[in-house]
Chains A and B, each alone.
Chain A
Amino acid sequence: MKAGVLDEFRSRELVKGLAAEIARLTADRPVPMTFMEVCGTHTMSIYQYGIRSLLPSRVRLISGPGCPVCVTPVGYVDKAVAYSRLPDVIITTFGDMVRVPGSSSSLVQERARGADVRVVYSPLDALSLAERNPGKRVIFLGVGFETTTPTIAGTILTAADRGIANFFVLANHKTIPIPMQVLSADPELGIDGYICPAHVSAIIGADAYRFLAEDHGVPCVVTGFEPADILHGVSMLVRQIVEGRSAVEIQYSRFVTSEGNRKARGMVERVFTPCDAVWRGVGVIPGSGLEISGEFACFNVEKALPVEVEESREPEGCQCGEVLKGKIAPTECPLFGTACTPEDPVGACMVSSEGSCAAAYKYGQ
């Protein structure tokens, strides 16, 4: 492929042209349209490229529960904190989780008190750490959606293969399509369509949203992350509404198919089974989580190494739950930018780089 083709998805000319097309398509629409994205990378991209400022006022973009760290309940952080206090334990995690406040502590505070908490790039790095430290118990914090879960499944399968007995996962995996249906059924939100996630869809395939479009009448477009991708995805959603259709379309067809990645899903099905999951702000959503199945229970730290955890409480005044549901914009939270900043966060949405509050703070919107 000619170098530079992928750069065209950032082309100013395409971005300007697509924005004009959206304005033209919506010019004589009587009611505004609201589209939700449910992927932390979209949240960041939309703020970073100032996408909202390119759209007419009749098109509103809201962020949903797409940041994995943000939707993880406080109780999970408390559990991770409790594990970090055990002897001979190394906690391994993606970076964002370290600074999320729990009920009375965070992993970064525990590290300051002497706990061994390490940030890794891949769960495979955590597995190597376990291999190199046979006298330690290495616990990986398995937090994430459908893109991350297969990487943990692959790591557990590798650990089983190599007979590594000191590697564990504190699993809190979630799946996105059911919560999308829950939110689109909320009349207060008035969601007219979904900008469907990019990487998640590379795994689950665009067909995973068909029930939303076909049974619930919600237009869905699987969209890439570049500015022209996002505007193109929005224009495809607008067009569906103008034409009175609701279908699943793939804007990000260079990486996503209808079917997705069967091999990755197969790995997840081997290692995990569906369970109910608690979403911060939304509550329990039946069947929207994944837990480590019985066959691999020896890697499930909650089974292999039970620990006592303090009673959890949400930070006082924190509106993360409302932000995650798209009910309020980050700036509408009374703590935003005053009591809660990226340097001294109160809620998870201000910690994670994928969080709406952190993105709104960084890009000043």
Chain B
Amino acid sequence: MQVMEIKGETMVAEIDGVRREASLMMLNEEVKVGDYVLIHAGFAISRLDEEEALETLDLMRECLALGEERG
């Protein structure tokens, strides 16, 4: 879910137009509006690492390319 608003220890996050409040008391990392977070039962538990997301997609594409090369 994407962070829309931060109010102290609470934030409002949105996914597919649905907004939810979530507590920040469990999150290790700092978050800002626009970040993506994992939310479980009303608590943010992890922040999306965007570089890692892009790297994983690259790794997947590499797998594909390898497969094609070897036929």
Contacts and interface: CB of A to CB of B under 8 A. Distances in A.
B49 A24 contact: no
B64 A256 contact: no
Nearest to A203: B45
Contact of B41 (A13, A122, A232): A122
A363 to B, nearest CB: 21
A154 B61 contact: no
Contacts of A154: 23, 25-26, 43
Contacts of A20: 64, 67
A202 B38 contact: yes
Contact of B45 (A18, A125, A254, A261): A261
Interface string B5-33: 00000000000000010010111100000
Interface string B43-71: 10111111011111101110110110010
B26 A17 contact: no
Residue picked from A202, A203, A253, A255, most chain B C-beta under 10 Å: A255
A254 B24 CA distance: 19
A182 interface: no
A261 B26 contact: yes
Interface residues of B, number: 32
Contacts of B43: 122, 124, 150-151, 154
B3 to A, nearest CB: 12
A226 to B, nearest CB: 10
A202 B46 contact: yes
A255 B38 contact: yes
A148 interface: yes
Interface residues of A, number: 41
A148 B41 CA distance: 7
Interface string A230-261: 00100100000000000000011111100001
Contacts of B66: 21
Interface stretch (A1-9, A56-64, A108-116): A1-9
Contacts of B60: 14, 17-18, 228, 232
Interface stretch (A188-196, A262-270, A316-324): A262-270
Contacts of A253: 49, 52, 55-56
Interface string A131-165: 00000000000000001101100100010000000
Contacts of B64: 13-14, 17-18, 20-21
Leading 10 A-B pairs by shortest Cβ distance: A122-B42, A17-B64, A254-B53, A202-B46, A253-B52, A21-B67, A151-B41, A254-B52, A1-B50, A264-B26
Given A21-B67, A154-B25, A254-B48, 19 more contacts: A5-B57, A8-B57, A17-B67, A18-B60, A94-B41, A121-B41, A124-B42, A125-B42, A147-B41, A147-B45, A151-B26, A154-B26, A199-B38, A202-B46, A228-B60, A251-B56, A254-B52, A263-B27, A264-B26
Interface of A: 1, 5-6, 8-9, 13-14, 17-18, 20-21, 24, 94, 121-125, 147-148, 150-151, 154, 158, 199, 202-203, 228, 232, 235, 251-256, 261-264, 267
Interface of B: 20, 23, 25-28, 36, 38, 40-43, 45-50, 52-57, 59-61, 63-64, 66-67, 70
